[in-house]
Structure 1
Amino acid sequence: MRTARASRSRRSRSSGAHPALPASYQEIIERTPSLDPAEEALLLERAALGTAATRTLAKTAVSPTLRADLEARVKAGQYSKERLVLAYLRIVPEVVTAYSGRLPFMDLVQEGNVGLVRAAENYDPSHGTFAAFATRWVRRSVVRAIAAGARADVPGQDSGTPDSDAEQSVLRRRVRQALAHLDSVEARVLELRFGLVDGTARTLDEIGRRLNLTRDRVQQILEHALGRLRDVVAPLPAAA
């Protein structure tokens, strides 16, 4: 019964695919199973525990035993955030479709992907469900990219921007800087996993085959790259 429901859900999602969406990106969406409420609640709990553990490790001297426990929570939290991003990847083209024509479609998808990653990093239950929270982050990222593009296209436009727009501009610059300063393999794994370059998100197995690495090694590289990316993104204040 669950398989049938999932199949119907996936068919309904693929039927609304934008023609500019790469088939491989759409395939990832269709192949990634939806989360039931219990699964999502568990992932969100582990993500929050991982974030708290990261802060503790960064600020507090702990015993070797406690450090091992906290590092395990960090790893579980990173996996949970990654799983949330993949499960909600479908909302990015759904949001972007409403803004088609403002910028190249896949440029907007990439901006939406960044917003989705930030949603997974910054989720707070007080702001509502994760689905609603992630949709707001994706939409905000897309809208600000469009606004930045519009300002760039207007001759003589005042370069001054509101604080929120300035923060988004800084975020995009920091993300690019983070990718630029990662080890080349780390940057490539991150780009392939979340489709940051071509909009095509790939599985760990697919990345491993492409880079001639084991799945476990890809997972290790991804966790390290996400940690470094989080160090760049985290200083910006979270938005509701």
Structure 2
Amino acid sequence: MSSTKHAAKPATGPASGPDTESAAATESAATGEGRPDGGTARARRPATRRTRKSAAAEVPAPRPEQGREPGDAEDAWEEPDEAELQSETLDLDDQSSVMGDSVHTYLKSIGRRTLLTAAEEVELAKRIEAGLYAEHKLENEILTGEERTDLEWVAADGRRAKDHMLEANLRLVVSVAKKYTDRGMALLDVVQEGNLGLIRAVEKFDYSKGYKFSTYAMWWIRQAIQRGFADSARTIRLPVHVLEMLSKLSRVERDMHQRLGREPTPEELAVELDKTPDQIEELLRTSRQPISLNATIGEDGETTIGDLIEDVDAPEASEVVDRQLLGAELRGVLGNLTPREAKIMALRFGLVDGKPHTLDEIGKHLGLTRERIRQLEKESLSKLRHPSNTRPLLDWAS
């Protein structure tokens, strides 16, 4: 789970700590505690603040994501309830028999981890920051053997701190994932997507801002889950902003149903969401899940949905019979020509595969020049225009 590059701090909020802060973090992380040789790390050189990354790596400000409504409850930053997190595993453990053994095993595993205090979060964050800085120097600077050994130990300690921070906050992901279990993905799949957001939050958390890690991580966890739904939950992938609009539409529809005692009309939903009725109807159509034509219906389980759908392009039975009879008449007329002439006429007018062929194509097929094919076509048409050949086809022409 280690990061090989320095994660930039948020672009908004209070300014980052002084340069000596990273040095102190590096010094703290490099103490003898946990060192393989049991000794004390060599003295560290003052660590300068590492170069910031581009704006693309900046942490989003603590406000709703662009394209979301500021009043959206799901998008607002909120403080997780400590008591709820403490009992999270116990609540879900009661349902584990329904969810399955894999869920039960996972919840039991994360329930053994103790939640972190604010001071422990800061300590781990400092060690993670020092580890990231050490990895940055190992990748980008020429070092002596002694310096490399020291930095490798600091980087390893940062990875251990990162793992500790992740494991202590896994039940926070479960707390968020529970709210998304009715949207077409299994709980463990939702948790897996949320864990990716938790990893991102650990890498980008800035303890100097003063807010708790769980408050900061909630945004990243939600974002990762929502993007996971956009990529995986539907047969036809929908953009993230469309899924967010569908989620808001669903909430408004539920609220209006409770308030009105009936299903709201598209016009009423349009007024509530500041959209046009056509836009609401399009969203409602988009929200429908596709159904397989092979899905069975009825008690016998033998009839499929595809069996009941009309094929509008299929010809009528009478048309099929007429086409077969006409084909027989044409083959009889072509029988009055030589085999080569009959083949040329059949290819030229699409009687072989339903596709008319050019003179060049027929010439290549028969090994003749384009001009020779044209001459043979002209002779064949002259023969076919004889009354003895046209008489059987007059009824079809009329």
- TM bin, normalised by shorter chain, reads 0.5 to 0.7
Q: Deviations over 1:91-141 (max 9, x none)?
A: 111101111121222111111112212222222334943212222111111
Q: Does 1:16 align with 2:86?
A: no
Match of 1:132 in 2: 215
Q: Secondary structure at the match of 2:190?
A: helix
Q: Does 1:100 align with 2:181?
A: yes
Segments of structure 1 that go 5 or more residues without pairing to the other structure are 1-7, 163-240
CA contact under 8 A between 2:201 and 2:217: conserved in structure 1? yes
2:240, 2:89 → 1: CA distance?
38
2:87, 2:167 → 1: CA distance?
18
Q: Secondary structure at the match of 2:87?
A: helix
Greater relative contact order (CA < 8 Å, ≥ 6 in sequence): 1
Q: Secondary structure at the match of 2:221?
A: helix
Letter in 2 for 1:24: T
Closer, same or farther: CA 98–119 of 1 in aligned 2, 3 Å = same
Match of 1:112 in 2: 194
How far residue 38 of structure 1 moved from its aligned partner, in angstroms, is 2.1
Letter in 2 for 1:66: E
1:54, 1:136 → 2: CA distance?
27
2:231, 2:187 → 1: CA distance?
15
Match among 130, 144, 148 for residue 67 of structure 1: 148
CA contact under 8 A between 1:127 and 1:133: conserved in structure 2? no
Letter in 1 for 2:91: G
2:164, 2:225 → 1: CA distance?
22
1:129, 1:60 → 2: CA distance?
34
1:112, 1:15 → 2: CA distance?
20
Question: Looking at CA atoms only, which structure, 1 or 2, has the larger radius of gyration?
Answer: 2
1:98, 1:71 → 2: CA distance?
41
CA contact under 8 A between 2:230 and 2:240: conserved in structure 1? no
CA contact under 8 A between 1:81 and 1:120: conserved in structure 2? yes
1:98, 1:10 → 2: CA distance?
14
- State the TM-score, normalizing by the size of structure 2: 0.35
Match of 1:82 in 2: 163
1:91, 1:11 → 2: CA distance?
10
CA contact under 8 A between 1:10 and 1:30: conserved in structure 2? no
1:132, 1:10 → 2: CA distance?
13
Q: Secondary structure at the match of 1:16?
A: helix
2:85, 2:179 → 1: CA distance?
20
How far residue 27 of structure 1 moved from its aligned partner, in angstroms, is 1.5
CA contact under 8 A between 2:177 and 2:190: conserved in structure 1? yes
Residue range with higher mean Cα deviation, 133-142 or 43-52: 133-142
Match of 1:220 in 2: none
Q: CA RMSD in A?
A: 2.6
How far residue 44 of structure 1 moved from its aligned partner, in angstroms, is 0.7
CA contact under 8 A between 1:119 and 1:137: conserved in structure 2? yes
2:92, 2:148 → 1: CA distance?
45
CA contact under 8 A between 1:47 and 1:78: conserved in structure 2? yes
Closer, same or farther: CA 40–161 of 1 in aligned 2, 3 Å = closer
Q: Does 1:37 align with 2:118?
A: yes
Closer, same or farther: CA 122–11 of 1 in aligned 2, 3 Å = closer
Match of 1:202 in 2: none
Q: Deviations over 1:52-99 (max 9, x none)?
A: 111111111112221111111100100000000000000111101111
Residue range with higher mean Cα deviation, 48-57 or 112-121: 112-121
How far residue 10 of structure 1 moved from its aligned partner, in angstroms, is 7.6
Q: Does 1:28 align with 2:109?
A: yes
Sequence identity, in percent?
Answer: 30
2:212, 2:148 → 1: CA distance?
31
1:131, 1:58 → 2: CA distance?
31
